Chain A
């Protein structure tokens, strides 16, 4: 018998401290495997955000920098332009990327910085205790919209991939999910592509990953998987929204019925 899988060299061999079921661990493993498989670990610099994944600087086994809330793509710009031979990725949650850091997200995409952005969308603020995120769904409860998000009070959630798809500089945009093993495999393919694009000098790549947050959703991990398919995917359809070769793609799975 042979061992099929192993701890990737792109990830420090230590237990992850995220909550049970949290999607960060899955995406951490994917990124760690990509660093190993693409042979880029020793020239990669990662950026840890503010939020639950602030601890990403401990986990990824490459040079890491932790920066101010939402500024990952600006920090990545500074690193990549100073050391173009490095592979630079920014790992961000939805509050970090789509709320406080929206300007940096949009402008780094517009400049088509040759960086890779990993965007974890779990529709909630995790670290601070379940407050409403820019991606919180209409009707979804959060600790700052305890009766559920309403359009009247809170406006609409933001679809990041669709928004960025308007920009010529956004060269690769894909929304993936982690709610089934098959989706995890697809997510890895997308993230690997996003790194490959950077290696090939193709410009700004962003992979959005729908991810569960059982703790702050107030659901069990298994209930959370259902929440992704029933609530999140209609709002956030999966698919490739831009590739370096073709302008705009279309959603291939999910979407409003």
Chain B
């Protein structure tokens, strides 16, 4: 804790997971996440943990399924095509209420795509990803620092709600080097509370079963409804975001991960030119900061979504504001915009605001009061959340009404 070191994003992710108590990793090579298994392969045995290079992503995720069932903090990582292969196993983990942590260091797609950074796996991540009705907690870092600090948060949330939690990164975040400070005490796995569902030594207790099926009439729905209630609670309590210069902004750029970093650079250029532009960055993509985004509607005049995909993330933004504010999209599917290109989009969007000063510029006709204008609390809550990992526990409860 405390010390700043220079690390590559993928290595920070691995080291962060180990410091968070991860003692089992299984994975399969795929670019651009190879540093994660490579790092784990020498580092985990030193900590008394297990590293396995599996024969496939399918085997890797099923090793996780088994390991997680024993209660150990288990992790896997991959990149887009590999994550697709893991989806069946992730669905089983969700269906068996098993906590584990995984990371998708996203590359260009579809198919084999390329190995550059992209955000095309947004929908796959925030909608569960595999078959059946479930969610996973999705955290989107935008720095090496967050790459290293989010795994602990993911393990804790995963165990608290008994479900998978993931980091959605990309090739840039995985490959770049930055200073990082691990902002938490090392977790000693032996000191974690025993899990009353974990498999292993059954002496003196009834046998336990980990499974995702229930063929009894009506029972599966009951389980899913219980899970749904947990998801509603997560949507209330675990939303994390960062809002910067949104107060008094005409235009708020909405972006996550690498896009948000590029957008931040562009916003600086724009503000230097006197444009009133802010940045809203969801840190949790599921649960999505719907209410906080809706709160922007009565204040800013327009939102500009910047995403490195065709328009996946923008759907959630539009659902959140529900037509109360115009939402422009700058989409770069498997492309990486420069700050100047985003700046040009910002200028274009701002011109739109001047031409049609009402908040309805490109939005469907507004009915009634804008949703956000009712919410007086939003202003006070619009905190800058740069240090999410450090203050997570407190902030987790700021979601408010829904």
Contacts and interface: CB of A to CB of B under 8 A. Distances in A.
B66 A103 contact: no
Contacts of B74: 78, 82
Interface in A11-66: 12, 41-43, 45, 47-48, 54, 57-58, 61-66
A97 B54 CA distance: 17
A83 interface: yes
Contacts of B24: 78, 81-82
Interface string B48-60: 0010101110111
Interface stretch (A68-76, A118-126, A155-163, A220-228): A68-76
Contacts of B88: 68
B54 A74 contact: yes
B62 A82 contact: no
Interface stretch (B112-120, B210-218, B328-336): B210-218
Interface in B60-101: 60, 62-70, 72, 74, 88-89, 92, 96
A54 B213 contact: yes
Contact of A74 (B59, B202, B210): B59
A67 interface: yes
B194 interface: no
A103 to B, nearest CB: 5
A68 B92 CA distance: 7
B67 A104 contact: no
Contacts of B54: 74, 107
A74 B191 CA distance: 28
Contacts of B65: 65, 67-68, 71, 74-75, 78
B209 A65 contact: yes
Given A43-B202, A63-B199, A107-B55, A78 B208 contact: no
Interface in B294-343: none
B193 interface: no
Contacts of B72: 82-83
A71 B59 contact: yes
B367 interface: no
Contacts of A66: 209-213
A37 B202 CA distance: 17
A61 B207 contact: yes
B202 A103 contact: no
A63 to B, nearest CB: 4
A65 B211 contact: yes
A207 to B, nearest CB: 20
B202 A42 contact: yes
A65 B207 contact: no
How many A residues touch the partner, as a band?
35 or more
Given A63-B208, A103-B56, A79 B69 contact: yes
A74 B203 contact: no
Nearest to A55: B215
A216 interface: no
A80 B89 CA distance: 18
Contact of B200 (A63, A74, A81): A63
A107 B92 CA distance: 22
Interface string B37-55: 0000000000000101011
A78 B67 contact: yes
A77 interface: yes
A167 to B, nearest CB: 13
Contacts of B200: 43, 45, 63, 83, 85-86
Interface in A73-129: 74-83, 85-86, 103-104, 106-107
B284 interface: no
A66 B93 CA distance: 11
A7 to B, nearest CB: 16
A77 B66 contact: yes
A186 B70 CA distance: 33
Contacts of A67: 62, 65-66, 92
A122 B52 CA distance: 33
A75 B66 CA distance: 4
Contacts of A47: 66
Contact of B66 (A12, A61, A78, A85): A78
Contacts of A86: 70, 199-201
Contacts of B58: 71, 74, 103-104
Given A79-B199, A83-B70, A71 B212 contact: no
Given A65-B65, A74-B54, A77-B66, 15 more contacts: A12-B207, A42-B201, A43-B200, A66-B211, A67-B66, A71-B62, A75-B62, A75-B69, A77-B59, A78-B24, A78-B64, A79-B70, A82-B72, A86-B199, A103-B59
11 contacts: A48-B211, A63-B200, A65-B209, A66-B209, A75-B62, A78-B66, A81-B52, A82-B24, A83-B70, A83-B199, A86-B70
Interface of B: 23-24, 26, 50, 52, 54-56, 58-60, 62-70, 72, 74, 88-89, 92, 96, 199-203, 207-213
Interface of A: 12, 41-43, 45, 47-48, 54, 57-58, 61-68, 71, 74-83, 85-86, 103-104, 106-107
